Structure formats: structure tokens, C-alpha cells
Amino acid sequence: MKFAERLAAHITPEWNSQYIKYDEMKEFLYQYEQSAPVQDDEHLLQRYFARADEIFFQFCDKELIKINTFFAEKLAEAQRKFESLKSELKENSNLMNRKKDRFRSSKLTLIEEDDEDDESKAKLLGDTTLGTPQTVGSPSRASMRNRKQSVISNVLNNTGAQTITQRLIEKNRERQLKNKQFRKEHDLKLAFSEFYLSLILLQNYQTLNFTGFRKILKKHDKIFKTDRGSEWHKAYVETAPFYTTKKVDTFINDVVNLFTQYLENGDRERAMKRLRVPPFEEKQSPWTTFRLGLHIGMILVLIPVVLMLIFFTYATFHELSFNWKIAIKLYRSPLFIIMHIFFIGINSYGWSRSGVNHVLIFEIDPRNHLTYQQLLEMGSFLGTFWFVSLIMFIISAYYNLDYYIFPLALVVFLTVFLINPIPRFQFSSRAWVMNTLWKILAAPFYPVAFAHFWLADQLTSFEFLFIDIQFFICWFLFQAQWAPLKNFFPDSPCIPSNNRDLSITFNLISLFLMCLPSLLRFLQCLRRFKDTSHAFPHLANALKYATTFFDVAALSLKYHFSYMYKSDWESPFFYIWLIVKFIATCYKLVWDLKMDWGFFDKNAGENKFLREVIVYSSKNYYYFAIVQNVLLRFLWLVRLYDIGLRGETYKDLVTTMLGFLEVFRRFIWNFFRLENEHLNNCGQFRAVRDISISPIQMTDLSVIEKMMDDEDGLVNRQHTLNMNSKQNNNNLTITKSSRRKKSLFWPLVDDIDRVDYKHYTDFNTTQQTSQLFDRTTNKFIL
């Protein structure tokens, strides 16, 4: 594998701009070699290659400054994080030791109290027995036994009850302490594993950049037939702080030792298994690939079978046409769920291929998560099951058997498969989904992360799913042949002869379910506003979802008063609904393009109508996404065609078609929404989950400054120098599209005949180096 391919495969996507620009430097060398003057004038050739060396080593120097600066920032961040985690680990260990000592002392106290209670019981019993007045007529044995039992019960009630209560309280405290300690240790393990991953990424950053400099300078010497590249490498790269600093290796060893000793009870094998770093490239199982191909092949065979069965049964048995209306409502939502799972697998593949770190964005475990092939396999397997169920439904209807058992079995199987609590078959992924769904349903009571509102956005594309769930429950409770409540409600509200005759209860439930996904997102936006106190964008986003409430309200008014007008075109409520729907659609469309995708940026430059930085390889993908999003957002206009039509079949088919296209629109939306979030992480250079056990206190700042000002540590830079460095780095950034047109260095070649440059002998051609660190001491300057 060539180094350029290796670099592209192993870089941390969020740090992409901070790696050596190997491709640009290699392109520069090849272009200078190809454009060298063909004249025999040695003086001209000497000036040409001297100018080339000057430009090349200037850029190498800037790249080295950039890499040293970024490495210093990440190393200081790692040092701060390590001290914070070590402090938390020490505090947790001390707390547990104090708790254990307290429990030992409390248990000893209880034992002593038990001994004292036994002595007091024996004394009381002895005194009671011996102190009984002896008379000539002594009492019987039964009366003596009753007196002893009454004395024992009094003793237990008065002296033993307090001890039993104390034991129960202590056991309860011990149980709460164990639960709290378990959660604390779990958080510490997670924080240490993420910190370990960040150290491995930083170590990989050192290795790739050092290798990149060695490769490009070796290539320079080979093309220019000189040894100045190797001399520059020895003088500056081999003495650069990013290469000579061994603190990353020290941190890695310290993390392993602390994790093994305090969190895994000395089990190093178990500790290394927990700290295991996932491969930079996802390895796919050949068995997963085989099963995926098998399921897709079965689906391709089953599709024509289903189409032929539908055609022949519908054409031959007209009395079964009513059953198709029911089949559409019972089968479309499971199909859309399965399609969405398959589309998420394609999304994951696209994200991985383009360097969009969706694992970090969703904050899932990088060591244990579903790959795109596993998602595709799951979707294709469930799709096969869906087609088999539909075929059995059609055949059973043909022979007039109990065919409604098959859609019920399909939904039960799909539900059990996706949410069953058995710790098998990717249980961690199912638990993540269930936990996220729970936090969505309890939106106002939990902080909202990206995964929460992303999954809630997916639900807004499945509004019809909630209506179908209502129909599904109603059908199997009231309408099916073996429905348990069929005899109690002979006039079922599930299949009315006309939509306008729905019962009030059924209609209200339908309206609520239509608003439910948008209501959840609305509450999430309010929670985000409460946590951040930023009116924009959170309140503006909440207003976007509130437009759904007005849309549903106007639609319900249109249907409620439809009996007063011969046609919907004569109803004023129809025009109210039309205006509200149009405004809501425009609002959502603008939010998709501008806020969710970040398009129409004024600094887009060559990426017209897009944004300054794009991840995917072709601009045509972006323009296609914009066009399809506009068209599919306004596709509800086809519903205007059914005005005046009373056919339920047409409306069900239109709803099904719109549902499929909305799932497809959400599939395209996911690509660019994750890309935009990924670019935000790149702007902050966030490559791992930031799991903090406790926030940084102001008193910790002095510790951080002391760590940074150690003799062998890193010196804190001034804010202005940091900003200048970032500005210089931004000036060197170019997009892939501009690289195809011309080299980064190529405009400077035109000046070769207008300026007389002396032979390049000094490698340190710029004064920018001294602004950030001193080469003589390899220390950063305040």
C-alpha cells in the first residue's frame, strides 16, 4: 500500500486538516519536475530549482509548525485529562475505603448490641422465672409457658426492634452504596477507555506525520537529485517536539497500570480487553457478507412472486379486493421500518467511506457497534420475512383461511426481534436504541444529545406509522374474526365507510398520534433552550415543529365541516389548511437546507450554494439532494387530486407512496445532516467522546498551569499567537476541487523569470518558527 493510501485510511477524520499535506507536496514536486526549463542554461536551471527548494521548504516549515502546535495542544489537553481522571480515581478509592471501614465498625457495633441484647433477654427471662412468688398452690405448666412467651414478645418488641430496624437501614445503605459505586466505576472505566483511545490516536498522529515527512523529503531528494531533504529532516523533523516527546507513551503505560490495578483488580488481560482499540478500518466478516448476499438474493426472487400473486388474486377474485385495503394498512408500516433499517446501513457505508465519524457523533461504543454490513444484513433478513408473510397472507386469502394471523405474527416477530431484552444478538445496540427512545419519550426530563434529536427527527418522517399502529390495535381488538372485543362493539370504528364518519374518540386519538413525533421534538427544543439559554436556534426550531400542530388543526377543521359544502374547493377551511401547509413546508425546507445541512453559506467560494468545506467527492450529490428535498417536501400537493374523490383505495395508495418517498427523503437527509455535524466536530478537533466524571473546578486551573509550565512540559501560548497560527493554517487550506485545477504552489512559478533569487542554502527561510517555539531548545515560547 502506498503511503498516501495508508495516510488516508488511518488518519483521524476530525484532525484531517492538521496532518501533513502529503498529496499537495507530492503534486508540487511532480509539477516542478515536469515544468523544468529545457534550455541548456545552467544558471536558469540553478535559479529554477533554487526557487523550487525555497518554496518547498517554506511550506515544509509551515507544516512542521502546524503539526507541532496541534500536537502541543492535544498533549496539554491529555495531561489535563489524565490528572483529572487520576484525581477522580484516587477520590473514589479513598471514598470506598472509608465506606468499608464505616461498615466494618457498624457491623461490630451491631454484633456487640446483639450480645448485649442476648444478655438482657437472658437476664430478664431468668429474673422473671426466679422472681415469681412461690406459693403453696404453684401455677400449672401451661400458665408458666404463656407467661414466658408474653415476656419474650415484650422483650423483642422493646429491645430487639431497634436492632432489626438498624440492620435493615444499614443493608439498604449498603445496597445503595454498591449501586452508586457500580455506576461510578462504570463511568470511570468508560472515561479511561475513551482517554486511552485518544492517546492511541495521538500516538498514531505522531507516527503518520513523521513518516510523511520522511517519505516526502526522500522523494524530494530523488527528484531534485540532492540530499538537502535528508539534511532538513535530520535538522528539524527528528528534533521536533511532536516526534521527540515521549509523554504519550508514558501516559499510555500509566493508564494501563491504573486501570488494571484499581478498576480490574489486577487482571491485566481483562483490562487490555476493555481498553482494546478498534481497528482504524472496519473489518467485515465473510459470513456476514454471505448471509447478506443470500437474503438479498431471496428478496429478488420473492418480489416477482408477490407481484404475480397480487395480480392473479386481485383480478380473479374481486371479492378479495376489500382485503387489499386492509393488507395495505397492515403491511406498509413494517415494510417502511425494514426499509429504513436497510437505508441506515447504506448511510453507515457512505459515512465510513467519506470519513464521517458517525460512531463519535452518535456517541456509541467504538469497540462494540453494528457495522454497515450488519445493518444491511438485518434489514435484508427482516425484508425476507416480510415477503414470506405477505405471500402466506395472499395464499391464505385465496383459500379463504384465517389470513390475518400472518400480519399479526409479522408485527410480533418484528417487535420481539428489535426490542427483546435477551442479552444475545447485538443486545448492546438494541439497548442503545431503547435507551434513546426512552429519553425521547421523556424529552423534558433528560438533557438532549445529538442521537436523541436525530432519532426523534426520524420519527417525524413516520407520522403515518403511528396512525397505522392505531389501526392495527383497533383492527385486532374489534374487527378481526377472532377479535376479543368484537361482540361488545359491533360497529367498529376501524373501517368506517367514509373518513368523515369516524367516531370522535377515534378521531381525537388519530390527531394526537399525528402530532406526537413533532410534539416530542418540540419538547426537546424547549429543553435545549432551558439548558443553553439560546433562543436561536432552539426556539426557532421549536416553532418549526409547532407548525405541524397548526397543520393538523386546520386539516381536522376541514374534515369536520366538510358536510356543509358540496366540494372542498368551496370550503374556507380548505384554503386555511392550504396556506398553513404551504407555510409549514417552506419553513421546514429552509431549515433543512440552511440549518441542518449548512448550505447557502456566504463563504462557500467555489462550492456555489453549498458550504466552504464539503466531504463527499462530487458537488452533484449536493445539488441532487437540494432538488429532491424541494420536490419531496411539496409532494403533498398530489393529495389535492383526490379532492372530490371518495375512494379509499386511492387515498391509501397515495399515503403509501408518500410514505415511501418520505423514507427515501430522510435517507438522503441523513447523509448531509451527519456531514454537517462531523464538520462541527472537526472544527473543535473532537475525535473521541468527552466523558467527564466531574466538571473542572477553578482550583484545577492552577494545577493545569503548573503541569504546562514544568521544565520538561509545554509552555502555555498566548491567545494572539494561537489565533495567528490558526489563521496561517487556514490560509494554507485548499479544497479537493481546487487541487484538481492547479497546484497550491503553482502561481509562484510564474515569477521565476521576473525575480533573481540567489541559490537556496539556508533551510530556515521564514521567521514564523520563532513566533511559536525556539528550535535551539525545542520549547514553546510564552
- pLDDT single digits (tens) 296-346: 999 999 999 998 888 777 665 555 545 677 888 889 999 999 999 999 999
In Å, what is the CA distance from 127 to each residue of 120, 130, 133, 152, 445?
10, 5, 11, 12, 62
The pLDDT value recorded for residue 576 is 92
Task: Please tell me the distance from the alpha carbon of residue 653 to that of residue 647, in angstroms, as a whole number.
Answer: 10
120-164 pLDDT per residue, tens = 444 433 444 434 444 444 445 555 555 555 555 554 455 555 566
Q: If you write DSSP's letter for every residue of 528-586 in order, what string do you get?
A: HHHHH--HHHHHHHHHHHHHHHHHHHHHHHHHHTGGGSSSGGG-HHHHHHHHHHHHHHH
Cβ neighbourhood burial of 607 (10 Å; 0-12, 13-18, 19+): middle
The pLDDT value recorded for residue 181 is 63
The pLDDT-based confidence of 777 (bands split at 50, 70, 90) is very low
Q: What is the DSSP letter of 753?
A: T
19-35 pLDDT per residue, tens = 999 888 888 888 877 77
The pLDDT value recorded for residue 223 is 84
The pLDDT value recorded for residue 225 is 82
Residue 190 domain boundaries: 11-127+146-277+686-782
Q: Please state the three-class secondary structure of 233-275 as a single string.
A: HHHHHCCCHHHHCCHHHHHHHHHHHHHHHHHCCCCHHHHHHHC
529-577 pLDDT per residue, tens = 999 899 999 999 999 999 999 999 998 888 778 778 877 788 888 899 9
The pLDDT value recorded for residue 116 is 53
344-380 pLDDT per residue, tens = 999 999 998 888 888 888 888 777 888 899 999 999 9
380-418 pLDDT per residue, tens = 999 999 999 999 988 887 777 788 889 999 999 998 888
For 140, other C-beta atoms within 10 Å of its C-beta total 8
Task: Please tell me the distance from the alpha carbon of residue 211 to that of residue 72, in angstroms, as a whole number.
Answer: 19
Q: Please, what is the end-to-end C-alpha distance for the chain in angstroms? A: 42
pTM equals: 0.71
Three cell numbers, residue 525:
427544543
Three cell numbers, residue 322:
376489500
Task: Please tell me the distance from the alpha carbon of residue 746 to that of residue 757, in angstroms, as a whole number.
Answer: 17
Amino acid making up residue 41 = D
Q: Is residue 196 assigned to a domain?
A: yes
Helix or strand or coil: residue 616? coil
The pLDDT-based confidence of 728 (bands split at 50, 70, 90) is very low
Instruction: Please tell me which residue, 149 or 739, carries the higher pLDDT value.
Output: 149
pLDDT at residue 645 is higher than 70: no
Task: Please tell me the distance from the alpha carbon of residue 755 to that of residue 749, in angstroms, as a whole number.
Answer: 11
Q: If you write DSSP's letter for every residue of 51-88 in order, what string do you get?
A: HHHHHHHHHHHHHHHHHHHHHHHHHHHHHHHHHHHHHH
The pLDDT-based confidence of 655 (bands split at 50, 70, 90) is confident
Cβ neighbourhood burial of 31 (10 Å; 0-12, 13-18, 19+): middle
79-111 pLDDT per residue, tens = 998 888 888 888 777 766 665 555 555 555 545
pLDDT at residue 756 is higher than 50: no
Q: What is the mean pLDDT of residues 456-462?
A: 93
Half-sphere exposure of 69 (CA within 13 A, CB side): 29
Task: Please tell me the distance from the alpha carbon of residue 670 to that of residue 680, in angstroms, as a whole number.
Answer: 15
Q: What is the DSSP letter of 41?
A: -
Q: Are 198 and 186 in contact (CB under 8 A)?
A: no
Given phi > 0 = left and psi -120 to 50 = alpha, else beta, which region is 355?
Answer: left
- As for how many domains the chain has, the answer is 1
Size of the chain, expressed as the number of residues it contains: 782
Task: Please tell me the distance from the alpha carbon of residue 663 to that of residue 668, in angstroms, as a whole number.
Answer: 9
Helix or strand or coil: residue 30? helix
The pLDDT-based confidence of 490 (bands split at 50, 70, 90) is low
Q: Is residue 544 assigned to a domain?
A: no
Shortest CA distance to 49 belongs to which of 216, 213, 215, 229? 229
The pLDDT value recorded for residue 626 is 95
Q: Is residue 676 assigned to a domain?
A: no
Task: Please tell me the distance from the alpha carbon of residue 598 to that of residue 611, in angstroms, as a whole number.
Answer: 6
pLDDT at residue 206 is higher than 80: yes
119-138 burial, b for 16+ CB within 10 Å, e for fewer?
eebeebeeebeeeeeeeeee
Helix or strand or coil: residue 619? helix
Q: What is the dihedral of CA 718, 721, 723, 728, to 10 degrees?
A: -160
Which range has the worst mean pLDDT, 47-56, 239-248, 254-263, 743-752? 743-752
The pLDDT value recorded for residue 194 is 84
Q: Is residue 761 assigned to a domain?
A: yes
Q: Is residue 703 assigned to a domain?
A: yes
- What is the average pLDDT score of the chain? 76
Task: Please tell me the distance from the alpha carbon of residue 85 to that of residue 193, in angstroms, as a whole number.
Answer: 11
Q: Are 216 and 30 in contact (CB under 8 A)?
A: no
Q: Is residue 669 assigned to a domain?
A: no
pLDDT at residue 43 is higher than 70: yes
pLDDT at residue 424 is higher than 80: no
The pLDDT value recorded for residue 105 is 57
Backbone phi, psi, residue 643, to 5°: -70, 125
Helix or strand or coil: residue 713? coil
